[in-house]
Amino acid sequence: MRERAGTVSVRLYPFVLEPKLTTAIWGGDALVRRYGKPGDPAQKLGESWECWDENRIANGAKAGKTLGDLRAELREALTGPIDHTHIFPVLTKIIDARDALSVQVHPDDAYAQRAEHQNNGKTECWYILACEPGAELVLGWSRDTTREEYERRVADGTLGEILRRVPVHPGDAFYLPAGTLHAIGAGIQLFETQQASDLTYRIFDWNRVGADGKPRELHVHKAGDVLDYRATFPGAVQQLAYEEEGLEHTLLIAAERFLVERIAVTRADAYVQGDGRPLTITAMDAHLRVDTEDASALLEPWQTVVTPASAERVALVPGGERTSAMLVHPQPDLRAARERALAAGCEATAAGAFFAQFG
């Protein structure tokens, strides 16, 4: 496949990404031992950034360049209708929370632009890969509250009395619009998809200290500006499953900024539609070959690829009888996604209920 970027003809192919690992006081060794990431298992590794604008390409003629470099070079051939002058719009991660993360919140786009001079805030979602028995998340409030009560309880140490705790199980998915109070609990490994932002306002950090022996910075006032004080969080989303030829789809999240699904490839002639946008694909339990028109990439388990928007459809060849992957559509065509589900036999009522969860 060849596309023109500016005046230069370039060959496009599936771009395998090198992950970025980050240490964290709450991290563990699962990213190395379970998910095969390059690193020292003796370190506390918290996150593997799988698709990120600054991740480098690991294969082919563009090896060594970053995803951001490709945005500038390939433009619409890579991003389609997504603005190529801005950071790649999604960030995907594998997170190993050996201990609990801080209680925190993220701003929406308007606040990020006004207060932080950044293009966007952070809406995110989680898919639970594994967890210990009894593991739970903090998600929102147990009842409606106010900024005044929030600030008082932060000051007197009683905020935990009105936090909502939600038990988790492998396969659960959660949608967290900006403004949702949250914390990942101890003993949870998950796949996160989020807007490409690292804006986080910490409210409470369980009285821990950082690597320098000092408490980590809190952002109580800014958090107060952006928190949703209503007890409206519904818990795990209701998923939508359907089958096409050679593919089992489980739609997890279908929001304006990203559509996230888990797919299982069951035969060699399966393919997915990109709707003129790039796709982010993370192999899970086995090797997975990703083919565009005249190029391919072989993914190791838990390796990630971005396909160019100019690829009309992307073929997937499983490494076993049934190979699973996480598939992320940035800034998706939700109407096309719904029509595909209905064409595959989903009941209109079930499809409507699924998509309605995301506003």
Q: Which residues, other chains included, contact 243 with Cβ-Cβ below 8 Å and sequence gap of 6+? A: 249, 344, 345
Residue 256, phi then psi, degrees to nearest 5: -60, -35
Q: Tell me, yes or no, if 257 is annotated catalytic.
A: no
Which token pair is 278?
Answer: 């790039």
Taken in order 70, 75, 81, 86, the sign of the CA dihedral is: positive
Using DSSP's 3-state secondary structure scheme, residue 191 falls into strand
Query: Of residues 75, 202, 289, 340, which has the active-site annotation?
Result: 202
The C-alpha atoms of residue 104 and residue 313 are separated, in whole angstroms, by 39
Which token pair is 281?
Answer: 């694909």
Q: Amino acid identity, residue 2?
A: R
Place of tokens 């003629």: 61
Count other Cβ atoms within 10 Å, centred on residue 359.
Answer: 8
What residues act catalytically?
202
